[in-house]
Amino acid sequence: MKPSRPLFLVAVVVVIAVITWAVLRSAYLSLPPLPWTAVPTLLLLALGEAFTGLNVLRRIRRKPTDRRTVDAARKPAPKPLDPMAVARLAALGKASAHSAAVIAGVFAGFAISLVGALEKSTPRHDFFVSGATFLAAVVLVAAAFFLEYACRVPKGPDDEHQGHGASRA
């Protein structure tokens, strides 16, 4: 599995936003007002992924001979993670990044389609809700990227020399 590409995710956001904008030009009046509940949901997901990414990063980057303690109670350093669990977390990060990009595109399309009708109360409410949801989805994309980054295997001393023209004997 390859890491998510930022340019691909930006393209997803733009394409979905254009499609949403085109659909809403004729269908907006038949929709109910947007609920604000997506904003805290996306932010909680982002917080969970960022916290998980910090934990994974700390546990993957520790050295096997590292005997540091975690706190004043003299608990030993955390054990390494199961490689399969790390692979699953990397897949979660990639899936979250792609899903959040689609969500960001939908709500960006909503916001763009409502810019011309801000003098009315319902479209103004929907504009602010869609803008906040778009921002929360972008935060989730960033947290998902961090989780993917945290799941990467750190380069060892042998890996650094291979990149500089050394042979693989």
| Per-state percent for the chain, helix, strand, coil, to nearest 5 | 70, 0, 30
Residue 66 has pLDDT above 60, yes or no: no
User: For residue 169, what pLDDT band results from cuts at 50, 70 and 90?
Assistant: very low
pLDDT on residue 83: 83
Strands (DSSP E) found in the chain: none
Express each pLDDT in 74-116 by its tens digit.
566 667 788 899 999 999 999 999 999 999 999 999 999 999 8
Distance from chain centroid for Cα 140: 4
Helices and strands counted in the chain (H then E): 5, 0
* Residue 18 pLDDT greater than 90, yes or no: yes
DSSP string, 26-41: HHGGGSPPPPTTHHHH
pLDDT-derived band of residue 68, with 50, 70 and 90 as boundaries?
A: low
Higher per-residue confidence, 104 vs 4: 104
Check whether 55 has a pLDDT greater than 60: yes
Lowest pLDDT segment from 32-36, 47-51, 72-76? 72-76
State the Cα–Cα distance between residues 150 and 169, nearest whole angstrom: 30
Q: CA-to-CA distance for 144 and 138, rounded, in angstroms?
A: 10
Q: What is the pLDDT of residue 32?
A: 87
| Confidence (pTM) | 0.81
In contact, 148 and 94? CB cutoff 8 Å = yes
Residue 118: phi, psi to the nearest 5? -75, -10
**pLDDT band at 10, cuts 50/70/90?**
very high
C-alpha of 54 from chain center:
14
pLDDT tens by residue, 111-161:
999 998 888 888 899 999 999 999 999 999 999 999 999 988 777 666 555
